[in-house]
């Protein structure tokens, strides 16, 4: 199986979360898409609680996948591969910890995704985004959870839409924790 779609999900740092009633207050122009300026304004507006600067470790575990045509072992293999790709370590500078970029929550490349919902209020994070996968389809993510100065936990819902396969739907949890100072460069 080709795991190119892992890059669209990969390096996920703080999120693959689900929220049934996300607040779309960030969509100031009402066009249904929350652009980078609207996401930045949302981070400033809703009293984001700063994270601790330093090295953060993110782990993703999927516990459910819906692909009727695959056997249980194949499903587990896909969930494990996506989780491994999405798990990561990343360093936050002092400035980033006070106001991380909105793409921090969606992983590498998330700044190119289309955000349908984006709400960061204090310790609560809710968002929905859709990311194109270089001619292969799309990844839709719904992210919801809580974060604090040194840890976060999110419920995750990921739908990978592949032209020849259909939708691969996965659910799980993403956890993150501060692990110490960033390594010297």
Distance CA 127, CA 106 (A): 9
* pLDDT value at residue 3: 32
Residue 31 vs residue 13, higher pLDDT: 31
* pLDDT value at residue 180: 95
**Cβ-Cβ contacts under 8 Å for 60 (sequence gap 6 or more):** 12, 16, 82, 83, 86, 87, 156, 172, 173, 174
Sequence spans of domains, the chain: 5-180
State how beta strands 88-92 and 54-66 pair: antiparallel
* pLDDT value at residue 81: 81
**Across the strands, what pairs with 170?**
65, 158
**CA nearest 16: which of 177, 158, 116?**
158
Q: Is 181 exposed, middle or buried (0-12, 13-18, 19+ CB in 10 A)?
A: exposed
Write down the pTM of the prediction.
0.67
**Across the strands, what pairs with 147?**
152
* pLDDT value at residue 106: 53
> Which tens digit of pLDDT belongs to each residue from 138-172?
888 898 999 888 998 989 898 888 777 788 899 99
Between 47-56, 109-118, 173-182, the lowest mean confidence (pLDDT) is in 109-118
> Which tens digit of pLDDT belongs to each residue from 40-50?
676 666 556 77
* pLDDT value at residue 107: 54
Backbone phi and psi for residue 140, each to the nearest 5 degrees, phi listed first = -105, 130
Neighbours of 18 (CB within 10 A): 19
> Which tens digit of pLDDT belongs to each residue from 68-114?
788 889 888 888 887 787 778 888 888 888 776 655 555 555 556 78
Q: For the chain, how many residues are written? A: 185
CA-based angle 60:160:158, to the nearest 5? 40
């Amino acid at each position: 199986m080709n795991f190119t779609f892992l890059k669209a999900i990969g390096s996920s740092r703080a999120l693959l979360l689900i929220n049934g009633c996300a607040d779309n207050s960030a969509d100031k122009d009402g066009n249904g898409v929350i652009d980078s300026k609207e996401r930045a304004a949302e981070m400033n507006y809703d009293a984001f609680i700063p994270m601790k600067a330093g090295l953060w470790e993110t782990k993703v575990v999927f516990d459910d996948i819906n692909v009727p045509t695959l056997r249980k072992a194949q499903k587990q293999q896909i969930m494990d591969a996506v989780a491994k790709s999405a798990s990561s370590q990343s360093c936050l500078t002092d400035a980033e910890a006070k106001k991380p970029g909105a793409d921090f929550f969606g992983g590498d490349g998330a700044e190119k995704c289309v955000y349908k919902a984006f709400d960061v209020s204090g310790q609560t994070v809710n968002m929905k985004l859709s990311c194109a996968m270089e001619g292969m389809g799309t990844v839709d993510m719904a992210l919801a959870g809580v974060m604090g100065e040194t840890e976060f936990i999110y419920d995750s819902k990921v739908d990978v839409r592949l032209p020849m396969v259909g939708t691969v739907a996965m659910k799980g949890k993403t956890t993150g924790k501060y692990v110490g100072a960033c390594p010297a460069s």
